[in-house]
Amino acid sequence: MNGFFQGAWQIGKVFGIPIRIHYTWLIVFGLITWSLSTFYFPKVAPQLPVASYWINGVVAAFLLFFSVAIHELAHSLVAKRYKLTIESITLFIFGGVAQMKGEPPSAKAEFRIAIAGPLTSFFLAAFFFLFSLKTTNIGFKSLFSYVYQLNLILGFFNLIPGFPMDGGRVLRAYLWSKKKDYLYATQKASKIGQNIAIFFMIFGVFSLFMGIPTGLWLILIGWFLYSAAYGSYQQSTLEALLHNVKVKDLMVKDLVTVSPSMSIQEVINNYFLKYGYTGFPVVSEGKYLGILALRDIKSIPEEDRPLREVSEFYGRHKPQWEISPQDNALNALEKMLREDVGRLVILEDGKITGMITRNGIARYLEIKKFITKINE
């Protein structure tokens, strides 16, 4: 998900929360403006000039995404009350999402954060409905009527009880309060979310066969929800398996190091092929310098390997590639993924005392899953 939102740019801040727009938002904005200007407004207000249709179409599209932003902002403001960090609110092709760092501290907090969005949408629906009743201008009446209906749909749609939708989070809060088990509640709500997403996709395919073009949207929404629900399930499982596991529990202490003066051929023959590791710490006179990874030397021609030294190719150490032995193993894995590195090091007075790797964590997870299945 985080990778998906790399295609977004910030347009401002509200209450200190960055508001971002993904490039897919522009596609939907154009489609909504076009469909409203050429179909909806000419049908409900045929007496208006063509220019009014396009103006109303643009305004309605803006109000729709404004409503989505307010919906997500409501989630964010309640989350901030519980000391949770909101990294950003992003508007994209399927609406919007508030990227929250961390998880709610309790079932009550989860419920309040989740329900804030739909309640805000219902409030906006009532607000625009009253405007549509008060105005006598046919253009404004049709505009406000459209926006109030969309907010009503947005509120009810988000209450569908499938994670990660708001209704799914409400369901998770309920299961969490009953079972007192956050992992169980997350996995159950995620599974229900996956089933609902599959139903959307099947119904979307059926609609296309029946000649209903909106079936394509149902397929896309179903796919997006399934991916998000499955990702949440995987994340919760990972958190459970690495719960209370520290870096010191998984780090390698007996390190095999290489010297910067070694030839690449020597390292390949006596280290990569002998030990089977994909990277080695580079150490000179007891001082840690960096990591020589297999990918650093794969492009060197075979005939040049005896002549080239490690010092030419190893990755120089960066502070962000360090981690404390007391840190959580899950944090270490997330840091490796974020930095796109295969390992992190533990340093004391400039000397390397340990290293934790992606492969090491992966092996631990495989064994833990196997033991868990045996015990079931």
Catalytic residues: 72
Both tokens of 1, joined, read 């998900």
Q: Are 371 and 267 in contact (CB under 8 A)?
A: no
Burial (Cβ within 10 Å: 0-12, 13-18, ≥19) of residue 137 = exposed
The reply to whether omega before 164 is within 30° of 0 (cis) is yes
> DSSP state, 2?
T
The pairing of strands 351-357 and 343-348 is antiparallel
Distance (Å, rounded) from C-alpha 357 to C-alpha 336? Answer: 8
DSSP helix/strand/coil, 246: strand
Q: How far is CA 33 from the centre of its chain?
A: 28
Q: Is the dihedral of CA 111, 114, 117, 119 positive or negative?
A: negative
> Residues with Cβ < 8 Å from 347, sequence gap 6 or more?
288, 322, 353
Nearest to 98 by CA among 83, 85, 82: 85
Pure H helices in the chain: 23-35, 41-44, 50-81, 107-134, 138-158, 166-179, 182-209, 215-241, 247-250, 264-267, 273-275, 294-297, 329-339, 358-375
**Distance linking the first and last C-alpha atoms of the chain:** 32
